[in-house]
Structure 1
């Protein structure tokens, strides 16, 4: 029995085979990797994936606790998604976006029906970055204004406007590609910029700061405020009570479009179809990608309110994409809705998050001094690792590299050595497994993290 099937369709066995050597050689000679110094990396060749696991060519098995890039919500090789793509390819592989297409229309209908009250339509993109680009463009044309406010500690993509919106170091070396973007500080009580002592204070002071920013920038110059509903890569920052409704109230007060970036947290990650549905807020535009079809075929989009949709009823929207609403991508999106219902995905995410993950992370905080704080919801959590709980000094400095990053690299290495592929960023160890993960695998992964935190404890210098 073979271990995996290679590019040519041949059955192969794990090990240092010709197939592995060819994959490594082609990658190193011909593939240019994102966010990397090309000569300093050695990408792991992956032979196959199944459910919440994947295997390298040597046969080492990994629990995928990062869902790849927090997009593989239904896991590797879900038969329902694979079948949907195969069947769609058999009847109509592609069609340009100016035609009406059955599967594209069906997916748009389902997204609208599962979105906010007043949602009207969907503009499909190829991914999350361009969804944010187009949402901003819609807001600017709708309002006739140019400025967009975005938070520090955010990531919105790497295209021109999206990387300018981003509020973390990946923006720095790209310069200011969109001069209309202004950044502000959002709530993060554990490291509060507002010296807040309670969640209520954090909300009140963060909203006061945002309104002051609006006033200083000029309300009649601001088209939109864009927020990750739950901040993703930069810390799984769950908004404190009242914050998102407060932002909504400021948008209403000053005629500003509210854009919620749900690229990472949409489609079940927090136990809701969209994360904002857990925070009593109605946006004007919602961007999505990743979980809409688990990344099986590139797909993203913008959910558009009736009011903004009507802005373009009699004047053309100035934008488009060759592959907008690609049938293969949309077919797997429609299948995602079916699978979520059939397998009770939202219910199991809420159950596993509340019953398994949250109590276990509380145990970690009791056991491991390096855990300064844990936070999250559903199957999306973060451990904020520190060297001193009293001062809250991070395990590694902000944007650490080289020797300064060694402690976090050691924690990451301990996870990988034990067969878990983690999601880490700066001093945070984040938990984002596929939503279909079996409970026993979830527990196994948490056990591995528990052991890896012993490594983090070894760097602890506090009392």
Structure 2
């Protein structure tokens, strides 16, 4: 951590931020951002040395943990060799990164188009689907978040779409969410069946020959870690095949270890046509993302120009961080650790909290990707108010836990390298805070 000579930096760091930085998704005058100076593993700290257990993974992206030495050293080494290169050139590190990603994808995927992050990965997946099919419409779920660029934000289903609806050809539908079912379902199987029937009716009503793709997060993340019920993703795949529609799976948040698997969809008997990724592929150490492209779509552009590109596509510093991150995750058993932590620690620990605290309406998730849905009343399932959620955040921070809160939920999303002791520490903090008289 930082020594006491740096203690005074907390104030100028905060003051400079408030004077000059314009923050996303915020009314600027209301902000009091936390100062973060450094981190290691599952912890971050400020310039005074106050440490927080990071159970947000920042924006659910620091899968390998903060400051993994192999990844930071790879970036340093690459900067000393070649700090940047045009995307039109061939570069060894870019090829190595693409090969490692393809090696973990399903067999019929053979190419990677690199982007600067998750939103433009979605943009280019949509572009590829439209070019391949010659169709325009993209269907996506109301309970989703796909990024803050033109088509990605309009594909998003939550409130952030509404002031940004400038892109064309987007249609939304309801996905499965048994706890708050749109379909009057009472079992996971019923929810799956009825959600699939709803989607098919939307496809039929929009006209199948106008639809390029169905775009889904394999497990919707920001919308609530909505683990798909049995048969749902396979059923979407079947509908896409029936009507000649491509399936794009958004693995930006759920991919690269977050669920205890390399890709979240591997647990659901489904193979998409295009895979969008970012975040966990290098834990955000350098901005990057991309689209993994199946062979039949990649072949379209063997003799036809692909009309898309980015100045920093396949940036060598990002590529070096991908190679180092994926190698370290493989060699150190980090994905397996996420699976074990989810199965043996988080699943039983969060279930025990639900038994103890009436404020928890539902627990759902897998790996290191969980949500506690908080309610004012278990009978009516009325969501906890924003005011009370604000109190919860304050109390968690006061106990040195950095949380991820969305709407009426606590998302329990530590790095994949989190230890048993760190999980126990976090569970004890959640237990204490949720036991307070928060509704008073």
Cα distance between partner residues in 1 of 2:431 and 2:411: 13
Cα distance between partner residues in 2 of 1:213 and 1:412: 39
Does 1:226 find its partner at 2:206? no
Cα distance between partner residues in 2 of 1:363 and 1:23: 40
Does 1:155 find its partner at 2:145? yes
Does 1:450 find its partner at 2:431? yes
1:54 aligns to what? 44
Cα distance between partner residues in 2 of 1:265 and 1:445: 21
Does 1:345 find its partner at 2:330? no
Q: 2:72 aligns with which of 70, 77, 82?
A: 82
Q: Greater CA deviation, 37-46 or 152-161?
A: 37-46
1:431 aligns to what? 412
Q: 2:5 aligns with which of 8, 13, 17?
A: 13
Cα distance between partner residues in 1 of 2:427 and 2:47: 25
Residues 199-219 of structure 1: CA deviation (Å, up to 9, x unaligned): 110110000000000000000
Q: 1:170 aligns with which of 160, 163, 171?
A: 160
- Runs of 5+ in structure 2 lacking a partner? none
Q: 1:201 aligns with which of 178, 187, 190?
A: 190
Shift of 1:179: 2.2
Does 1:318 find its partner at 2:307? yes
- Pairing of 1:60-459 with structure 2 (within 5 A): 60-174=50-164, 176-396=165-385, 405-455=386-436, 458-459=438-439
Cα distance between partner residues in 2 of 1:12 and 1:48: 14
Residues 249-307 of structure 1: CA deviation (Å, up to 9, x unaligned): 01111111100000001100001101011111010000000001010000000000001
Shift of 1:364: 0.8
Contact 2:65 2:416 in 1 (8 A): yes
Cα distance between partner residues in 1 of 2:345 and 2:16: 42
Contact 2:192 2:230 in 1 (8 A): yes
Shift of 1:85: 0.5
- Runs of 5+ in structure 1 lacking a partner? 5-10, 397-404
Cα distance between partner residues in 2 of 1:83 and 1:185: 44
Contact 1:225 1:257 in 2 (8 A): yes
SS at match of 1:117: coil
Residues 140-199 of structure 1: CA deviation (Å, up to 9, x unaligned): 00000000001011000010111101100111222x211200000000000000011111
* TM-score normalised by length of structure 1: 0.93
Shift of 1:14: 5.0
CA RMSD across the alignment: 1.2
Shift of 1:459: 2.4
Structure 1 residues 346 and 370: CA distance shift in structure 2, 3 A: same
Cα distance between partner residues in 2 of 1:94 and 1:83: 17
Cα distance between partner residues in 1 of 2:107 and 2:271: 7
Cα distance between partner residues in 2 of 1:211 and 1:75: 41
Contact 2:396 2:429 in 1 (8 A): yes
Residues 325-352 of structure 1: CA deviation (Å, up to 9, x unaligned): 0011011101112101221112111111
Shift of 1:12: 5.5
Shift of 1:13: 3.1
SS at match of 1:430: strand
Contact 1:116 1:283 in 2 (8 A): no
Residues 348-368 of structure 1: CA deviation (Å, up to 9, x unaligned): 111110110000111111100
Q: Would you say how many aligned residue pairs link Structure 1 and Structure 2?
A: 440
Cα distance between partner residues in 2 of 1:24 and 1:269: 31
Contact 2:55 2:401 in 1 (8 A): yes
